[in-house]
């Protein structure tokens, strides 16, 4: 079996001091849904560490929170990889909003190149009007998702870097580059950022969006910690890297996606407008007040993560004693972290209801819970659904009004266990 690569120095600034934030132990890869024996899914360490700064004025060290180990990419992004953007109405609407914001800032022509790195099933690229630009998606799982790409969107298989961009596009530069929920997946972020810069026109923009570390800490959303997500960012680290890559952060926007994310617009030239400058300044102040250069916020987070396991186990024990039938709802990658951390298995959840046909007949990695179509789960007449994609709470509650009206309960594990 392949082994994970241990990181001895910070992935960005090479600081050798990496302090543990929380150690979730060895877990089966959270993004792979096996059709056969779930224990066959490779297990790799899931320890979160931080690049330790001397103090708040230390600019030599970047302070990045990151995974201690990098699992093999061929294992993480195998054919059993399960995430698809286009299955969730909230995500489709969010990506449409992201494209509208881009079009408000940039005037495109059919000759312009728009590049989406980690394009998944082309949900974002489909939000651009056909003919507005040359639309290209880059994704290592190209063949799995190819059928979702409309004819006017070109799909390039593989990973993005300077060499692959030069081989594919030659001297042609992109007017817009996007990387949504993927920049935190790259093992060498500074190198990646410089490759993006080299691939942009002088007046082009790079829009990146990923989970926001302070939101993860505040909501105890340790399910954000998975093998794919190698880094956990604040504005501070993005600006640290931008200053060393020839980029300027032009704008920032926070949102509730995936439990709390932030989107940034970077450019090779220009300055933030007054409104964006104010938003950036406010975020810098907020981050400074959190004391993220100290161990305190991370120690508190680790304590709550450990306590959450006990709360969840108690919930299942009480539900079993009360004779309640509990089924899972939404077989999400993030949910696999909760399942494994809390020791939840088929004795707790007989199955998990799912809408993604690719997951029907598979099991959750490590925990081995069968994944079935929603209609099969409903036929079992559950008393309550344990909602793994809890960050879509409002949408789930609206969607399950009939179930709740009939006495059914929706159980959200995070930010705190809540039964509705």
- The pLDDT of residue 323 is 97
In tens digits, what is the pLDDT along the chain, a chain of 420 residues?
589 999 999 999 999 999 999 999 999 999 999 987 766 899 999 999 999 998 888 889 999 999 999 999 989 987 767 678 888 888 999 999 999 999 999 999 999 999 999 999 999 999 999 999 999 999 988 788 899 999 999 999 999 988 888 888 889 999 999 999 999 999 999 999 999 999 999 999 999 999 999 999 999 999 999 999 999 999 999 999 999 999 999 999 999 988 899 999 999 999 999 999 999 999 999 999 999 999 999 999 999 999 999 999 999 999 999 999 999 999 999 999 999 999 999 999 999 999 999 899 999 999 999 999 999 999 999 999 999 999 999 999 999 999 999 999 999 999 999 999
pTM: 0.93
Domain boundary assignment for the chain: 313-419
- The pLDDT of residue 340 is 98
Question: Residue 154 phi/psi, 5° resolution?
Answer: -90, 140
Q: Which of 3.40.50.150, 3.40.50.720, 3.40.50.2300, 3.40.50.80 is the CATH number of 313-419?
A: 3.40.50.720
- The pLDDT of residue 38 is 64
- The pLDDT of residue 42 is 93
- The pLDDT of residue 83 is 79
- The pLDDT of residue 389 is 94
What is the SS3 string spanning the chain?
A: CCCCEECCCCCCCCCCCEEEEEEEEEEECCCECCCCCHHHCCEEEEEEEEECCCCCCCCCCCCCEEECEECCHHHHCCCCECCCHHHCHHHHHHHHHHHHHHHHHCCCCCCCEEEEECCCCCCCHHHCCCCCCEEEEEECCHHHHHHHCCCCEEEEECCCCHHHHHHHHCCCCEEEEEEECCHHHCCCHHHHHHHHHHHEEEEEEEEEEEEEHHHHHHHCCHHHCCCCCCEEECHHHHHHHHHCCCCEEEEEEEECHHHCEEEEEEECCCCCCHHHHHHHHHHHHHHHHCCCCCCHHHHHHHHHHHHHHHHHHHHHHHHHHCCCCEEEECCCHHHHHHHHHCCCCCCCCCCEEECCHHHCCCECCCCCCEEEEHHHHHHCCCCEEEECCHHHHHHHHHHCHHHHHCCCEEEECCCCCEEC
């Amino acid at each position: 079996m392949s082994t994970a690569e241990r990181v001895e120095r910070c992935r960005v600034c090479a600081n050798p001091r990496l302090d543990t934030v929380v150690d979730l132990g060895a877990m089966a890869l959270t993004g792979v849904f096996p059709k056969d024996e779930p224990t066959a899914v490779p297990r790799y360490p899931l320890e979160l560490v931080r690049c330790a700064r001397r103090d708040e004025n230390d600019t030599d060290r970047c302070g990045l929170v990151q995974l201690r180990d990098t699992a093999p990419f061929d294992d993480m992004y195998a054919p059993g990889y399960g995430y698809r953007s286009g299955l969730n109405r909230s995500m489709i609407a969010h990506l449409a909003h992201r494209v509208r914001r881009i079009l408000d800032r940039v005037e495109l022509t059919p000759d312009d190149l728009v590049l989406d790195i980690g394009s998944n099933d082309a949900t974002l690229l489909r939000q651009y009007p056909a003919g507005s630009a040359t639309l290209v998606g880059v994704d290592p799982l190209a063949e799995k998702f190819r059928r979702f790409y409309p004819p006017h969107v070109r799909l390039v298989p593989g990973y993005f870097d300077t060499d692959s961009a030069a081989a594919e596009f030659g001297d042609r530069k992109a007017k817009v580059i996007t990387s949504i929920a993927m920049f935190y997946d790259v093992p060498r972020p500074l190198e990646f950022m410089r490759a993006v810069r080299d691939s942009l026109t002088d007046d082009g923009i790079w829009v990146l969006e990923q989970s926001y570390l302070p939101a993860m800490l505040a909501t105890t959303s340790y399910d954000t910690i998975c093998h794919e997500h190698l880094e956990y960012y604040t504005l501070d680290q993005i600006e640290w890297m931008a200053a060393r890559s020839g980029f300027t952060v032009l704008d920032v926007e926070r949102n509730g996606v995936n439990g709390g994310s932030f989107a940034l617009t970077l450019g090779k030239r220009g300055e933030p407008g007054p409104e964006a400058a104010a938003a950036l300044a406010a975020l810098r102040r907020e981050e400074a007040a959190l004391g993220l250069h100290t161990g305190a916020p991370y120690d508190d987070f680790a304590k709550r993560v450990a306590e959450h396991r006990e709360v969840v186990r108690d919930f299942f024990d009480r539900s079993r004693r009360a004779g309640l039938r509990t089924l899972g709802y939404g077989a999400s990658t993030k949910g696999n972290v909760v399942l494994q951390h809390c020791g939840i298995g088929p004795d707790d959840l007989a199955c998990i209801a799912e809408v993604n046909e690719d997951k029907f007949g598979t099991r959750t990695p490590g925990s081995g819970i069968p994944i079935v179509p929603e209609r099969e789960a409903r036929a079992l007449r559950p008393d309550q659904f344990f909602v793994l994609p809890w960050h879509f709470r409002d949408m789930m509650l609206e969607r399950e009004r009939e179930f709740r009206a009939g006495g059914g309960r929706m159980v959200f594990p995070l930010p705190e266990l809540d039964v509705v």
